[in-house]
Amino acid sequence: MTRQVPMLINGEFIESQSSDKQDVINPATQAVLAQVPFSTPEEIDQAVAGAKAAFQEWRNTPVPKRARLMLEYQHLLKAHQREIAEILAQDNGKNLEDAMGDVWRGIEVVEHACNVPSLLMGETVENVASGVDTYSLVQPLGVTLGITPFNFPAMIPLWMFPMAVACGNAMILKPSEQVPLATVRLLELFQQAGAPAGIVQMIHGGKEQVDQLINHPDIVATSFVGSVPVAEHVYRSTTNLLKRSQCFAGAKNHMVVMPDADKETVMNTLVGSTVGAAGQRCMAISVIVFVGDTIEWAGELADRLKRIRPGVWDDPEAAFGPLVSKAATQRVKGLIQSGIDQGATCVIDGRDIKVDGYPDGNWVGPTLFTDVSTDMDIYREEIFGPVVCCINANDLDDALRIVNNSPYGNGTSIFTTSGVNARRYQHEVEVGQVGVNIPIPVPLPFFSFTGWKKSFMGDLHAYGKQAVRFYSETKTITTAWKETRVSAPNMSIALK
């Protein structure tokens, strides 16, 4: 019988009673790895009620104890990094190196969560009036919700629940129904590390389950990562209910290549940053803005892209894996056709690529377009495949105009040896994460993940540094001590 992906409710991995199921498929072979039953309304209510009960105790668990849970979890994740990477390589398809990186970027967030006692410190001002002091406390919110996409099956769940829990909250996690297997293992290890029952609950599903959760009166805050249309729906629905919400969404990231850039450096970074992970990264470079005569470098990029090919996760010669699904493959191939129909030059067309021994895989090879204009679908849409669009700009002004007219603002980079150009670009570009001679400028978790415009909806960029603010409320206390004497300014005050 096909393996059923369990839910996690109140500390038990249990099978859903639902008959509404979706196959979890290996995208290189189409083998059915498991089935994921979409949780029933009753199961979701049970998960939220259990999380609410667990929160009551967890919020009073000493902060150092919460930090120690994260320390233990970090240790276990490191010990099981390869195993988790192999699990997610099965349902997501990414190659081993990418899969190891996916887990590692999540481990870094857990390391950040180990530091939670100092992150939760409030502030104090003595004598705001005569004999009156004010201090602030940072407190957890309650039951939070995490909804994750398919493209980082380990990192993105780990963006969410460790920080939420370290701050004293409970979380309901709804992983991508396309790639739920790694999340199961992440949560088994979290239990093993000592997480109390109910503090993270996992349910499965799609739109119906998400809608029930975001409308649930006991869910107080939602973190979402996924495509722009779904992010807009989740953000509008949650904020309409006056709930806290942050939605990380799609992207179209531009790399600007200046004539003074070091050509070899540009070429060496472009292959991995454009088609790596089959382009299924929200920080992938999907548009190259070649300034002036550098457009001629597109020919050399094409030569390099022709030399690489996709393959299965454990093929060391493969540069990247398959697309996640048949539907995604059809969509990407359709967009490539639209580029040709709308007049772009398709220098390399990856639609007919074959991978020996894997005739059923969702393969699309590296694809490169030149003569792309900003009104074409291949420029306007997030393709999320190994497809690169080249645009020619006259100068830096022109390049900035192109990038700033994009509705997306997740990541961008400039390659230049001129400090003046670099300084001007980082200052004027309207994008949240900027690389200078770095193609994919993803910050570490002691910074924030700072998408702009359509790539992020919310107030706080809460994957790293700001996560504590997102998952906490601040309370200010003002006290006038008349009878009780407080002898040391930083002594602990026991209120009766």
Under rule CB under 6 A, residue 206 binds ligand NAD: yes
Under rule CB under 6 A, residue 226 binds ligand NAD: yes
Quick one: 29 or 39, whose CB is closer to ligand NAD?
39
* Contacts of ligand NAD in 438-467 (CB under 6 A): 449, 451, 455
Q: How many CA atoms lie within 13 A of 171 on its CB side?
A: 27
Which of 428, 420, 431 is closest to 456 using CA atoms?
A: 431
* 114, 167, 247, 282: the active-site residue: 282
CB of 40 to ligand NAD, least distance (A): 16
CB of 317 to ligand NAD, least distance (A): 27
CB of 34 to ligand NAD, least distance (A): 16
Q: Pick the piece of the chain touching ligand NAD (CB under 6 A) from 99-107, 120-128, 225-233, 313-321.
A: 225-233
- φ/ψ (deg, to 5) at 361: -70, 160
* Contacts of ligand NAD in 21-80 (CB under 6 A): none
Closest-CB residue for ligand NAD?
Answer: 226
CB of 246 to ligand NAD, least distance (A): 10
**Strand arrangement, sheet containing 472-480:** 124-129, 132-140, 472-480
Under rule CB under 6 A, residue 176 binds ligand NAD: yes
CB of 163 to ligand NAD, least distance (A): 15
Number of Cβ atoms within 10 Å of the Cβ of 484: 9
Altogether, the residues listed in the chain come to a count of: 496
CB of 269 to ligand NAD, least distance (A): 20
Under rule CB under 6 A, residue 251 binds ligand NAD: yes
Among 112, 216, 233, 252, binds ligand NAD (CB under 6 A): 233
Q: Pick the piece of the chain touching ligand NAD (CB under 6 A) from 7-15, 226-234, 388-396, 476-484.
A: 226-234
Among 55, 73, 150, 470, binds ligand NAD (CB under 6 A): 150
Among 98, 102, 133, 177, binds ligand NAD (CB under 6 A): 177
Under rule CB under 6 A, residue 227 binds ligand NAD: yes
SS3 for the chain, per residue? CCCECCEEECCEEECCCCCCEEEEECCCCCCEEEEEECCCHHHHHHHHHHHHHHHHHHCCCCHHHHHHHHHHHHHHHHHCHHHHHHHHHHHCCCCHHHHHHHHHHHHHHHHHHCCHHHHCCCCEEEEEECCEEEEEEEEECCEEEEECCCCCCCHHHHHHHHHHHHCCCEEEEECCCCCCHHHHHHHHHHHHCCCCCCCEEECCCCHHHHHHHHHCCCEEEEEEECCHHHHHHHHHHHHHCCCEEEEECCCCEEEEECCCCCHHHHHHHHHHHHHHHHHCCCCCEEEEEEEHHHHHHHHHHHHHHHCCCECCCCCCCCCECCCCCHHHHHHHHHHHHHHHHCCCEEEECCCCCCCCCCCCCCCCCCEEEECCCCCCHHHHCCCCCCEEEEEEECCHHHHHHHHHHCCEECEEEEECCCHHHHHHHHHHCCCCEEEECCCCCCCCCCCCCCCEECCEECCCCCCCCCHHHHCEEEEEEEEECCCCCCCCCCCCCCCC
Q: CB-based contacts of 354: which residues, under 8 Å, 6+ apart?
A: 363
Q: Pick the piece of the chain touching ligand NAD (CB under 6 A) from 68-76, 130-138, 224-232, 307-315.
A: 224-232
Q: Pick the piece of the chain touching ligand NAD (CB under 6 A) from 141-149, 349-357, 363-371, 437-445.
A: 141-149
Among 6, 106, 198, 250, binds ligand NAD (CB under 6 A): 250
Among 5, 282, 301, 323, binds ligand NAD (CB under 6 A): 282
Under rule CB under 6 A, residue 148 binds ligand NAD: yes
- Total residues in contact with ligand NAD, by rule CB under 6 A: 28
Q: Pick the piece of the chain touching ligand NAD (CB under 6 A) from 169-177, 336-344, 422-430, 484-492.
A: 169-177
Under rule CB under 6 A, residue 183 binds ligand NAD: no
CB of 206 to ligand NAD, least distance (A): 4
Among 69, 87, 167, 230, binds ligand NAD (CB under 6 A): 230
CB of 399 to ligand NAD, least distance (A): 22
Under rule CB under 6 A, residue 225 binds ligand NAD: yes
CB of 360 to ligand NAD, least distance (A): 21
Under rule CB under 6 A, residue 410 binds ligand NAD: yes
Catalytic residue check, 282: yes
- φ/ψ (deg, to 5) at 20: -90, 110
The binding site for ligand NAD (CB under 6 A) comprises 147-152, 174, 176-177, 206-207, 210, 225-227, 230, 233, 248-251, 282, 382, 384, 410, 449, 451, 455
Active site residues: 282
